[in-house]
Amino acid sequence: MDKNTRICIIGGGPAGLSAGMYLEKKGYENYTILERNDRVGGKCWSPTYNGRRYEMGAIMGVPSYYAVHDVEEFCGITHDGPKLNRNYKNAQGQVIEPFEPKKNILKIPRLLKMKKQLKLFGELLETKYKGYAINGHRGVAEGRYDGFAVTPGREPVKGENPNLKDLALPFSEFCKKNGVELIQDIWIGPYTSFGYGYFDEIPAGYVVKYLDFQTTMNFVKINLWTWQNGTQFIWEQLNDHLKNHARLNSSIEKVERKDGKVYVTVNGAVEEYDKIIVTAPLHIPGTRTDGQKGMDEYFDVRDDERELFSKIDYERYDVLAVETKPEDHPEISYYVFDNMVPEKLGHLMVYYRRWRDSKEQVITTYALRKHKTSTEVPYEECKKMVLDDLKTMKNPASNVVNEWSVYYFPHIFSEDYAAGWYDKVEAMQDKYDTFYAGEVMSFGDMDETAEYSRELVERFF
Ligand SMILES: Cc1cc2nc3c(=O)[nH]c(=O)nc-3n(C[C@H](O)[C@H](O)[C@H](O)COP(=O)(O)OP(=O)(O)OC[C@H]3O[C@@H](n4cnc5c(N)ncnc54)[C@H](O)[C@@H]3O)c2cc1C
C-alpha cells in the first residue's frame, strides 16, 4: 500500500493507539486517531485517589504480553507496579484455601485428579490442538491455523488441524470432550471473575487463546505485571510518543464509503481518507446510557456487515471503587469462587486491594450480571448485592467513590463461531476500504487487541 495512504483510526484505546504505532513503524505516518472521550486508554482507566492511581479497568499483564512489551519499548517505560497477591473466600466470607490438600482432606482425590488432568490438558493443547494459541480466530472453524507464533519474534505459522474446530464448543463441553472437566476449577479464576462470561456459554476458542497454558500458569504462580501509574499510563505514554496524537473529544456523526474514499463527519466537518480502521464497537445490542454506539449506527453499513455484526453480544461487567473504614479494609485481594456461577449472577466475584502499604486507598469490586440464557440483573440491584456481599465478607464499604458498567468483551456464541463468522469477517477486511480491529476480532484484553492491530498492519499495509 502507498506509504502516503490517509488512514483514519476510530478509537484511542490499546487497539487504536497500537495500530498507530505499528503503522508508524512501517513508515505510514499519514494516520489520524479519533477518540470520542476526553482521554486515551479506553478500558484502561486509571483515575487518581489520594495521590495514587487505581484501576477501574485493566489491571494486569503477563510476561507473554509481547505487543504491550513493544509499546513499553517504544515509550521507554516498564511494568513497575505493585506486586499482586490474593486469597480466597467462600460465599459466607470465610477464608479458604481451595487448592491446598491439607486444608481439604475430603477433596484430596479430586485435587489429585485435577493435577493429572492439568498435565493432560497441557499435552493436548500442544499436540491435538496444535496452533490453538495464535492471535485471532482465522481459519479455526475450518480446521486451520494461520498467523504468528506467541513468541517474542512472532514467527509466521500456518497449518491444517481439523481438531481446532472443537474450539467452537462452549468451554465446558470442550473440557468434557477431552476428559479434563476439573481444569475448569483453575481456569475460572482468571476467566469468569475477570468478566469474560461463563464456561457453559463461551466458545473454547476465546478461553484458550487468552488463557493459553503458559498464561494460566503465570496466573497460578502470580507471575504478573502491573503499572505504578495504572494501565492507562501505558496508553497515555504511547499517545505522547506517537507522531500524530489522538484527537480527543471527536464526535463522529457519519462515515460514508464511496468511490474508493472514506468520508468521516467529525465534530460537524467532513474529512476525507483512503482507509479506515475501526477499533470502536461494531455492534451494540440494545441501547446504552453512556452514549456508546456500534459502527452499524453511524456508518453506511452494507448488508454483509449488518448481518455479521448483529451476532455480537457483550458482557455486563460492573466495577465499583469503594472506601472502607481502616478496620474493615481487606488485608489482600479476594476471589469468591462460589459466586462465579450463573446461579449467582450479580454477586461479588472478586475484590482487589492494590497497595499493600496503605489502607488509604479504594477497593475495587467486580460482578457479572448477564448470562446468555438469562435476563439481565438490573444495574442498581447488582450494585446493592455487591455492597451486601462486602458486608458478608466482613469488609463493608463506607462509601462508593466511582462506578463503571462498561461495554465489555464483545464476542459471538458457538453456533456462529462454528459457522465461520471469523472467516467471513476476515474476508471483508479492506472490502469497503474498512478494517475491523479491537476486542471482538481477537479477545478482550490489552495484549490480544494490540497484537491483532500489529498483525493487521503486517497483513495489509
Ligand atoms: C474492569 C476491567 C478489567 C480489565 N482487566 C484487564 C486486565 O487485567 N488485563 C488486560 O489485559 N485487559 C483487561 N481488561 C480489558 C482491556 O482493558 C481491553 O480489552 C482493552 O482496553 C481493549 O482495547 P480496545 O482498544 O480494543 O478497546 P477499548 O479499550 O474499549 O478502547 C476503544 C476506544 O474507542 C473509543 N470509541 C468508542 N466509540 C467511538 C467512536 N464512535 N468514535 C471515537 N472513539 C470511539 C472509546 O472511547 C475507547 O477509548 C479489563 C477491562 C475492564 C473494563
pLDDT tens track, the chain, 461 positions? 999 999 999 999 999 999 999 999 999 999 999 999 999 999 999 999 999 999 999 999 999 999 999 999 999 999 999 999 999 999 999 999 988 888 888 888 899 999 999 999 999 999 999 999 999 999 999 999 999 998 889 999 999 999 999 999 999 999 999 999 999 999 999 999 999 999 999 999 999 999 999 999 999 999 999 999 999 999 999 999 999 999 999 999 999 999 999 999 999 999 999 999 999 999 999 889 888 999 999 999 999 999 999 999 999 999 999 999 999 999 999 999 999 999 999 999 999 999 999 999 999 999 999 999 988 999 999 999 999 999 999 999 999 999 999 999 999 999 999 999 999 999 999 999 999 999 999 999 999 999 999 999 999 99
Kindly give the distance from the C-alpha atom of residue 42 to the centroid of ligand 1, in angstroms, as a whole number: 4
Ligand 1, residue 447: give the atom nearest the CA.
Answer: 11
User: Cα 96 from chain centroid?
Assistant: 28
Kindly give the distance from the C-alpha atom of residue 15 to the centroid of ligand 1, in angstroms, as a whole number: 8
Cβ atoms < 10 Å from Cβ of 94: 11
Report CA dihedral (219, 224, 230, 235) to the nearest 10 degrees.
Answer: -100
User: What does the alpha-carbon distance between residue 215 and residue 223 come to, in Å, rounded to a whole number?
Assistant: 9
Ligand 1, residue 40: give the atom nearest the CA.
Answer: 49
Contact criterion met (CB below 8 Å) for 277 and 293: no
Contact criterion met (CB below 8 Å) for 21 and 242: yes
Residue list, ligand 1 pocket, CB within 6 Å:
10-16, 34-37, 42-44, 57-61, 194, 250, 252, 279-280, 292-293, 319, 406, 408, 438-439, 444-447, 449
Phi first, then psi, for residue 37 (nearest 5°) are -80, 175
Helix (H) or strand (E) holding 308: helix 303-309
Kindly give the distance from the C-alpha atom of residue 277 to the centroid of ligand 1, in angstroms, as a whole number: 15
Kindly give the distance from the C-alpha atom of residue 453 to the centroid of ligand 1, in angstroms, as a whole number: 14
Mutate to test the pocket of ligand 1, among 440, 445, 456 (most ligand atoms within 8 A of CB): 445
Sole residue written with cell 479464576: 189
